[in-house]
Amino acid sequence: MKRSLFRKSTLAFAVAAVLTALPSSIVRTPLSSINANALDPAPLKGTSEAHFIALMHKHIRNVKIIGVAALHELKQRYPGEYTSISDDEVSAFLELHDQAKVNRTEQFLAEHHIPKNERFGKLLSKYYGATPETLKSIPGKSAPTEWDELRHIVDHLNETDTAVVNSYLKKFPTEKQQSLRFIEKLADCLDTSLNRKQEFSSKNFAPASVFFKQQLKSKPMPELGHHAKRLPEIARYFEGQGPGGIPRLTLILHKNLPNRVQCLARLLHLLDSRARK
């Protein structure tokens, strides 16, 4: 009995000691289901503009990191196909991702004809975590509703982001444009499905690989060319587990995590072995 109690207490102490050194965003979740960017619980609807903008910058950062990692994987899988694209080109392109939500510079607003008082970040923060059930009115009513306002914002937002991307990509050959769009879509959906569930009030987001498989059946993506059919397979690879059973995306977004988790595993094994003697 004493030996069992000692074993449990030493294991608990070891876990607490090592977890103290882990990033706070990792400590919130069990090691078996580490989420690289666990977010604070979102309200049923709405958050501050500053919080929303911070989350969007985090998303853009993740998309850039995942995009570069995806480029490396694609070069290995398909030798010769992606050699004309560099890490810097992917990073520069993905820096433009979701700019309509966060960019408030005079030049950006003027180029895309966005009124200074039309702040997408502020408007979207109002609906952060919203669902049709939490909005004031049910979609489909003849009178203007919150749903109508949200739909209008999203449509305008998407049009602006499309214009930003098209303007940037027009200097590249068609094949390179398709490759970069493919990488952006892959990285965006991977991060969204794993790390942005709070924003959309959903705990049951389908993995990006499943989403892509379904989308390809119902909606062709000519803007991605022949790369589109590769989306499910590449997404599934990044959704899988890497060394030590840690999700690959976690390893990519937190490069210092593997060593800490491995140290924790070794320490627990050592203490467990001693406690059994």
- With a CB cutoff of 8 Å and minimum separation 6, the contacts of 190 are 66, 208, 235, 238, 239, 249
The residues facing 65 across adjacent strands are none
pLDDT over 90 percentage in the chain? 37
- What pLDDT does residue 245 have? 81
pTM to 2 decimal places: 0.73
pLDDT tens digits, residue range 195-251? 777 666 555 678 999 999 999 998 889 999 999 999 999 999 999 988 778 888 888
Q: What is the greatest pairwise CA distance in the chain?
A: 74
- Angle, helices 231-239/49-77, rounded to nearest 10 degrees: 110
Least confident of 51-60, 119-128, 153-162, 224-233: 119-128
pLDDT confidence band for 151 (50 / 70 / 90): confident
Rg (CA), the chain: 22
Q: Which of 34-48, 61-75, 101-115 has the highest mean pLDDT?
A: 61-75
Amino acid identity, residue 78?
Y
User: In whole angstroms, how far apart are CA 120 and each of 3, 75, 158?
Assistant: 60, 36, 11
CA separation for the pair 270, 68 (Å, rounded) = 37
- Angle, helices 174-195/231-239, rounded to nearest 10 degrees: 40
pLDDT at 92 over 70: yes
CA separation for the pair 235, 219 (Å, rounded) = 18
Cα torsion through 83, 88, 93, 96, rounded to 10: 170
Q: Backbone dihedral region of 244: left (phi > 0), alpha (psi from -120 to 50 degrees) or beta?
A: left
